[in-house]
Amino acid sequence: MNKTKLFCSILCTGMLCVGNAQKKQDSLTTEQLDEVVVTDSRFYLKRENSGKVITKITSKDLEKLQGQSIAEIIGRTAGIEINGVRSNAGQNLSYFIRGGRNRQVLVMIDGIQVTDASQIANDYDLRLLNPDQVESIAILKGASSTLYGTGAATAVINIKLKEASKKAFNLNLRSTLGTNQSSDENNYAFENFRNSISVNGSTGNFNYLASFGQQFTDGLSAIEAGTESDTYNSYNTNIKLGYKFSNAFKLNAYANYDNFKADFDDSFAMLDADNVSYSNQYRIGLSPEFNYKNGSLTINAAYSDVEREIASSFPTQFNAQNIVIDAFNRYNFNDKFYTVLGVNYQDNQMESFTIPFGESGFSQAINPENAQFTITDPYANVVYKSDFGFNLNAGIRLNNHSEYGSHFVYGVNPSYKVDFDFGYLKGLTSYSTAFITPSLYQLFEPNYGNSDLQPEENATIEVGAEILLKNRATFSLVYFNRKETNFIDFVDTGNFVFQYQNTASSFTASGLEFVAQAKLLEKLNLNLNATYTSVDEDLSLRIPEIKINTRLDYDLSDATILSLSYQYNDDREDSVYNPDTFQNDKITLESYGLLDFYISHNIINNRMTVFGNVTNIFNEDYQELFGFTTRGRGVNIGFNLNL
């Protein structure tokens, strides 16, 4: 079938489902609370007044995806492909959103930017997060540098960790056992173990939370031709403390420690190897908030330290520190005009060690006295909400970088909503710019670095519409067009000498994102999204042209939930090194479709939930990454206990 026709058929199917839902639900009287969004403006606004389509993964959604990693869960949303989530648990992850890469995606945890200054792309590794510690996820796509700074070029992923309960003491235990095997294996042994414990509560003006999580996964080789398994082992500790001094002032503090150890093979020769990757992350932060009439002042301050070590034929050690301070003042003039004024400060530093040829000990390769930069960004954002349906969200930001000077970005996002008896129809459009700061590695690595690099620049246009049918359904369709300039590439300057350089070429990515959420019957709900992405050939690596996700949730009873989900990924191009020609050959990976099933049941007065799922029910044999192992059918069982 023609791919464009396929996407259109999915679009029509979603619209028919919505129409069907409207017919079947006319007798319902259940009141649905208005959804609130905050990511696109930092104000708590009703979804109908937002000029963006924001994806919200709620705690209920997360419950139906237990046993999966955060990267897997995010990869089920519209417009997002995270490559590596269906391979060995320790596989490196690649984020592809709107034709962009890792360095164009900003991850935030509890509203604070998180990066790894030791990475080539300066990106945050989602493998460090434990899904049991996550409360919800909000995803804002499009250029958002005006509010969130460098890296927010194709998406902002704001991950909210769990908060303390209202009770004085609450204990939560969760455990999952699962299989982990390729499609040509049938042993179904339990080789994937996830466990977590959380103690939390509130007493008076004080609240606390302490949680610990662990994962151990075995059974799969990293490479497809491998005969020995490569294990993955991670630990996560999270402590959050909060105190409300008065109605006007409260203070939150936190500390995280995240660690993983991943075995991996020789991906160059595609042979088994005893290689190991270690990663440790330490994060501490403070978040005071002062509220006054019509406004509030918030300061998010965090310090992180990341240590990474690669034990292989080319051993390397990395260490990076990052300081982030984001202070912003929100003010509501008259429930129609809102402003945010803020300043964002970042200090990044890294060092690395390698073993020079012919030597046996580590020597410093990147000196932290050189590999350091600071960013100071003042920014402003305004929201106007009229009485006649017109809404405007606009902002500006001046990035001041210690290495390449100043850079100006802005965004304008008008929308217009028309109310009807059945709900509303909203049209939206936006034009926004963004920048991607060169990483410390790209700037200062002694062999490949280039201190003259300029930031990559993005400009994104969005046009879309959203329809809400009260208590029944919501669906949206967004067209995007993103132009990328100053692309930083790894360039062969001659005689096999490589350097990071800005290319003169510009690249374009465009596409459509369709989302439908419908209440088909009283106890049957549909979640559907489909993405069509068209990118220039230079950006097409591992990006499917068509991607579809759908999930049907059925409440069998007040205690039992059933869920059936399906994901389709179109064929993709991959790149493989050819040792004979010393060039990369392009190959095509075939399309695939995965069907998953989930069931949960509440017992013991709603204090305990038992659950199970089967992933890749039909044991689809496919390749996510050429030459690397891909998981086949999987079975998970577990329980969640609240005391």
Render the burial of 72-82: b for 16+ CB within 10 Å, e for the rest. bbbbbbbbbbb
Per-residue pLDDT tens for 140-182?
Answer: 998 888 999 888 999 999 999 999 989 999 999 999 999 999 9
**Predicted confidence (pLDDT) at residue 6 exceeds the cutoff of 80:** no
* Mean of all residue pLDDT scores within the chain: 89
Per-residue pLDDT tens for 183-215?
Answer: 988 888 999 999 999 999 999 999 999 999 999
Per-residue pLDDT tens for 89-145?
Answer: 999 999 999 988 898 999 999 989 998 888 888 889 999 889 989 999 999 998 888
Coil, strand or helix: which one is 8?
Answer: helix
Per-residue pLDDT tens for 464-494?
Answer: 999 999 889 999 999 999 999 999 988 888 7
Count of CB atoms situated within 10 Å of the CB of 287 = 20
- Alpha-carbon distance values, 524 to 61, 77, 147, 551 (Å): 14, 20, 38, 10
**Predicted confidence (pLDDT) at residue 376 exceeds the cutoff of 90:** yes
Within 38-171, residue ranges assigned H as helices are: 59-63, 70-74, 145-148
User: DSSP letter at 223?
Assistant: B
What would you report as the CA-atom Rg of the chain, rounded to the nearest whole angstrom? 24
Residue 37 confidence (pLDDT): 67
Per-residue pLDDT tens for 407-448?
Answer: 899 999 999 999 999 999 999 999 999 989 899 999 998 889
> What is the mean pLDDT of the segment spanning 570-587?
81
Render the burial of 173-202: b for 16+ CB within 10 Å, e for the rest. ebbbbbbbbbbeeeeeeebbbbbbbbebbb
**Predicted confidence (pLDDT) at residue 545 exceeds the cutoff of 50:** yes
Residue 640 confidence (pLDDT): 92
User: DSSP letter at 457?
Assistant: E
Angle (CA) 142-143-146 rounded to 5° is 135
The rounded distance, in Å, linking the Cα atoms of 70 and 87 is: 14
Per-residue pLDDT tens for 504-537?
Answer: 888 899 999 999 999 999 899 999 999 999 998 7
What's the number of domains the chain is made of?
1
Residue 47 confidence (pLDDT): 81
The rounded distance, in Å, linking the Cα atoms of 296 and 292 is: 6
**Predicted confidence (pLDDT) at residue 11 exceeds the cutoff of 60:** no
Residue 343 confidence (pLDDT): 96
Exposed / middle / buried, residue 167 (Cβ in 10 Å: 0-12, 13-18, 19+): exposed
Residue 32 confidence (pLDDT): 41
Residue 209 confidence (pLDDT): 96
Q: What percent of the chain is predicted at pLDDT more than 90?
A: 66
pLDDT band at 5 (very low <50, low <70, confident <90, very high): very low
For the chain, helix (H) and strand (E) counts, in that order, are 5, 36
Q: What percent of the chain is predicted at pLDDT more than 70?
A: 93
Tell which residue, 368, 362, 372, has the closest CA to residue 317.
Answer: 362
pLDDT band at 34 (very low <50, low <70, confident <90, very high): low
Domain encompassing residue 147: 3-642
The rounded distance, in Å, linking the Cα atoms of 102 and 80 is: 12
Residue 359 in tokens: 């030597």
pLDDT band at 582 (very low <50, low <70, confident <90, very high): low
**Predicted confidence (pLDDT) at residue 540 exceeds the cutoff of 80:** no
Count of CB atoms situated within 10 Å of the CB of 58 = 13
The rounded distance, in Å, linking the Cα atoms of 456 and 453 is: 9
The rounded distance, in Å, linking the Cα atoms of 566 and 548 is: 8
Per-residue pLDDT tens for 445-467?
Answer: 888 999 889 889 999 999 999 99
The rounded distance, in Å, linking the Cα atoms of 15 and 281 is: 45
Residues 6 or more apart whose CB falls under 8 angstroms from that of 626 comprise 574, 576, 587, 589
Q: What is the CATH number of the domain that holds 136?
A: 2.40.170.20
